[in-house]
Structure 1
Amino acid sequence: MYNMFAYDFTETMRVTNQWLGASAQALGSYPVHGLAPNPMFRLLSAWGDVTERSFDRMVARPDWGIDTVVGEDGRDHVVQVEKVMRRDFGDLIRFRVQGRRESKRKVLMVAPMSGHYATLMRSTVTSLLPDCEVYVTDWHNARDIPVSAGKFDIEDYTRYVIDFVRELGPDTNLVAVCQPVPLALAAVAWLAEHEPAAQPATMTLIGGPVDPDAHATDVTDFGRRVTMGQLEHLVIQRVGFKHAGAGRQVYPGSLQLASFISMNLDTHAAAFRDQIMRVAKDEAGDHDRHNKFYDEYLAVMDMTAEFYLSTVERVFKNREIARNVFEIDGQRVDISKIKDVATMIVEGEKDDISAPGQCLAAIDLLTNLPAKKARTHLEPNAGHFGIFAGRAWRDNIRPLVLDFIDSNAGRPATRRPANANGEANNGVVDKPAPTGSGPTPI
């Protein structure tokens, strides 16, 4: 009950701050203050506006917001999100583009389960839609999943990826970003050994901790400093009675958000201070640069306790993937069994979450993969967010990934930009993430 009290206390503090922000915004906006103009009232209202919005977004599930995509005919085509597979802890969804010929490129984006929703990949999905049929793993918030649904750890996560790839077929091009990279690698290895006919055509691994010890970061250092007992005692809580998952043990998204922000507190503090001043001067917009970024960044979800703890223990501490000793149901998954799946590794030179070398370690495990089927790319001056959703992705990495897919399918490259500026971003504005704001410090 203590852990449940802690969870509800955190939610109480969030609601209280949201209420204080709304109250301050209303108080500072009374017309009567115009009789005695004072900048204090504008600042009070601006502080309340930013505060209320920020704390409200923490429990809001962002919408994908991908309504149309430009087709080969130059027209906008409506995009509909369809659920291909429904599971307790996550769905396989498809972005179906209406009224266009189906693309030969079928891409499965394996999204992180690391505190943010899969919508963190919105700009990545948007950039791929003009040229691909895009499917995404859409993970659910653990607080909304009843205890009766059972557990969900990294073995279950790997099984989900296996099932999704099996559902889509062998012409699938798997793209895993950050946290799921080692588990996606294990899923493909399992298929290679047990169901080779269901293997994906290609696998692109972007900025993930295959071997966390390859290059130390604040994330890996934290994993080394704390014991599993300390971690469980400090961060695991039980979902309160307000939610469908009441009683489920989770690693709360609020704690994950706190760890994100603490990695570069000065940057975030300056961003919010500047936004308050812009609101006070009537220079801010509902969908301005700040709000676009933080509406997504502040929207966090809980992870099941067993998933979080098993990730720390088995991927970071014991390095089971890096040592090629990972098991599912007591059966070893041998990564060297991958012989036919063309693999591309992408890293960012300035990635402070999964530093260069951590993802590249996958190449050393693919001992039976022909050299001609392996490709690596280190993006200069790119941080963690940039290599899958920022300018580095759109300008450099995305074209490389599409060319890699085509070359291993025996097709000439046919990629094209989605707008007149030559950028396949469908109008998405580049949002540089503050240092340490990547999707997974676990």
Structure 2
Amino acid sequence: MKYMATYDLMETARNTNEWLGATARAMASYPMFALSMNPMVQLTAAWGEVTERTFGRMIAKPDWGIRSIVGPDGTDHLVDILPVVKKPFGDLVQFFVRRREPAKRRVLLVAPMSGHYATLLRSTVASLLPDCDVFITDWHNARDIPVSAGKFDVEDYTLYLAEFMRFMGPETHVIAVCQPVPLALAATAYLAAEDPDAQPRSLTLIGGPVDPDAAATDVTDFGRRVTMGQLEELAIQRVGFKHMGAGRLVYPGLLQLQSFISMNRDRHSKAFSEQIVRVARGQASDHDAHNRFYDEYLAVMDMTGEFYLSTVERIFKGREIAENKFTVGGKKVDIGAITQVAVKTVEGANDDISAPGQCIAALKLLTGLPDSKKASHVEPGAGHYGIFAGKSWRLNIRPLVLNFIDANSGAPEKPAKAASA
């Protein structure tokens, strides 16, 4: 599978479907067909419109779409999206609110690198902006990164997070969502040993696989069923000549999207069938609920091959974080070295990707942290998406996270030194 031809074959299939949709939409929209009373004409045009948009948005990075927020004085404040640290594989981006004094809460939102862009957390950012200065990790599409930029695996990801935390300073409160949860924990522990003054004030871990074996899901079962050799052969491809990263080994976003959809195939099929009918009846719009969701859900990015494989091998199969055996550059990262950073875990009771138990396992690893600085929450009835961007986040979890941040703001108390013998 590690050939450019397989990568280009997938892109050819995507491009062909987009073209077929555009052709059907254009052909069935000719005025002459208005004389026909056959409903198949409208359905064909609607199928073409939905199909063209579906396959077209798979390769387009969504816009943040956050133009302004309402300030406490009732006026609109424009929001500038500014990269403040630029790196080959990802930037640290600030949502700078014009005409507003720096907020008391300074938040680093760690976005997942699991096939979707950081814009997946758009609603999370929008909900935090009125009360916080928000920064986010904006990971780049691996197909656009030249081979000359080198590798990027879980150790490099951890070092990126440590560098971003250093840049933001010790008054930072980190919120990690999904995939980066164990690596955000590792990056904090790395700073605890290497640069204690750069540690954040608090760390909120939302729905991440600190210990994948704590509760089985389809994701963990898949990791157990296949060997690393099989996974490399089936999942890793080389970027085609069309892109800047030509020749780079990647786990294609289109393959990841296929696995996402296969987990809920019937629900997605029903959603698209109903959307075609709505378009045919003239009941759909450019920003209706279906398009708002799928414009984001279908926009996928490639991950570097070494990042994908090292995640499966070291986080899921080897359980290096769960067993406190993770290393960076040959040096062990001891989770127990965290003694000052308050840590809170958040899980969804109905999470089928990172089931309850996987994230809260982080608290057991924090052997040097007093219980007063540990907290956990399981949201009843919430699935994976709901705990960071859905109704559960808006109504219940966001207030809890902000209260946790407030309770742990200010300079931490130094742990008491052991009395001399």
- With the shorter chain as reference, the TM-score category is over 0.9
Query: 1:104-253 counterparts in 2 under 5 A?
Result: 104-253=104-253
Shift of the alpha carbon at 1:346? Answer: 0.3
- SS, match of residue 406 in structure 2: helix
Task: Write the distance in 2 (CA, Å) between the matches of 1:8 and 1:367.
Answer: 49
Are residue 42 (structure 1) and residue 50 (structure 2) matched?
Answer: no
Aligned to 2:382: 382
Report deviation, 1:2: 6.0
Equivalent positions of 1:316-327 (< 5 A) are 316-327=316-327
Alignment of 1:363-442 (within 5 A): 363-409=363-409
- Amino acid paired to 1:32: M
Give, as a single letter, the amino acid of the residue that structure 1 aligns with 2:286.
Answer: D
8 A contact 2:2–2:233 mirrored in 1: no
Tell me which residue corresponds to 1:330: 330
In the TM superposition, residue 409 of structure 1 has moved relative to its aligned partner by: 1.5
State the Cα deviation string for residues 173-201 of structure 1 (Å, max 9, x = none). Answer: 00000000000000000111111100000
User: Residues 237-256 of structure 1, C-alpha deviation per residue, up to 9 Å, x if partnerless?
Assistant: 00000000000000000000
**Equivalent AA in structure 2 for residue 22 of structure 1:** A
Report SS of the residue matched to 1:389: coil
Cα deviation, residue 361, structure 1: 0.2
Amino acid at match of 1:118: A
Moved over 2 A (4+): none
Alpha-carbon separation, structure 2, partners of 1:320 and 1:198: 24
Q: Which amino acid aligns with 2:88?
A: D
1:257-336 correspondence runs (5 A): 257-336=257-336
Q: 1:60 to 1:45 in 2, by over 3 A?
A: same
CA 323–2 in structure 1, closer or farther in 2 if over 3 Å, else same: closer
SS at match of 2:102: coil
Q: 1:415 is matched with which residue? A: none
Compute the TM-score of the two structures, normalised by the length of structure 1.
0.92
Name 2:416's counterpart in structure 1.
Answer: none
SS at match of 2:3: helix
Structure 2 unaligned spans of 5+: 412-421
Contact 2:178–2:207 (Cα < 8 Å) also in 1: yes
Name the CA distance, whole Å, in 1 between partners of 2:3 and 2:286: 37
How far 1:36 sits from its partner (Å)?
A: 2.0
| Partners of 2:171 and 2:410 within 8 A in 1 | no
Looking at structure 1, the residues matched to 346 and 32 of structure 2 have their Cα atoms a distance apart, in angstroms, of 58
Aligned to 1:418: none
What amino acid maps onto 1:394 in structure 2? Answer: R
> Closer, same or farther in 2 for the Cα pair 1:2/1:249, shift >3 Å?
closer
Task: Report sequence identity in percent.
Answer: 67
How many residues were matched structurally? Answer: 411
What is the CA–CA distance in structure 2 between the aligned matches of 1:397 and 1:180, rounded to whole Å? 19
Query: 1 CA distance for matches of 2:73 and 2:404?
Result: 25
C-alpha contact (below 8 Å) 2:2/2:249 kept by paired residues: no
> SS of the counterpart of 1:102?
coil
Measure the CA separation in 2 of the matches of 1:409 and 1:92.
22
Structure 1 CA distance, aligned partners of 2:377 and 2:60? Answer: 36
* C-alpha separation in 2, matches of 1:347 and 1:247: 39
Structure 2 match to 1:83:
83
Instruction: Mark the runs of 5 or more structure 1 residues left unpaired by the alignment.
Output: 412-442
Name the CA distance, whole Å, in 1 between partners of 2:332 and 2:173.
24
Q: 2-side partners of 1:251 and 1:34: how far apart?
A: 46
What does residue 255 of structure 1 align with?
255
Normalising by structure 2, report the TM-score: 0.97
Instruction: Quote the Cα distance in structure 2 between the aligned partners of 1:49 and 1:367.
Output: 56
Structure 1 partner of 2:360: 360
Decide which moves more: 34-43 or 397-406. 34-43
What are the residue-to-residue correspondences of 1:34-73 with 2, within 5 Å?
34-73=34-73
Q: Deviations over 1:290-316 (max 9, x none)?
A: 000000000000000000000000000
CA distance in 2, matches of 1:400, 1:2: 46
Please give the alpha-carbon distance, in whole angstroms, between the structure 1 residues aligned to 2:98 and 2:206. Answer: 29
**Offset at residue 410 of structure 1 (A):** 5.8
> In the aligned structure 1, how far is the partner of 2:277 from the partner of 2:12?
28
Give 3-state SS (helix, strand or coil) of 1:58's partner.
helix
Q: Which residue identity lines up with residue 276 of structure 1 in the other structure? A: I
- What is the root-mean-square deviation in Å for CA atoms of aligned residues? 0.9
Is the partner of 1:69 in helix, strand or coil?
strand
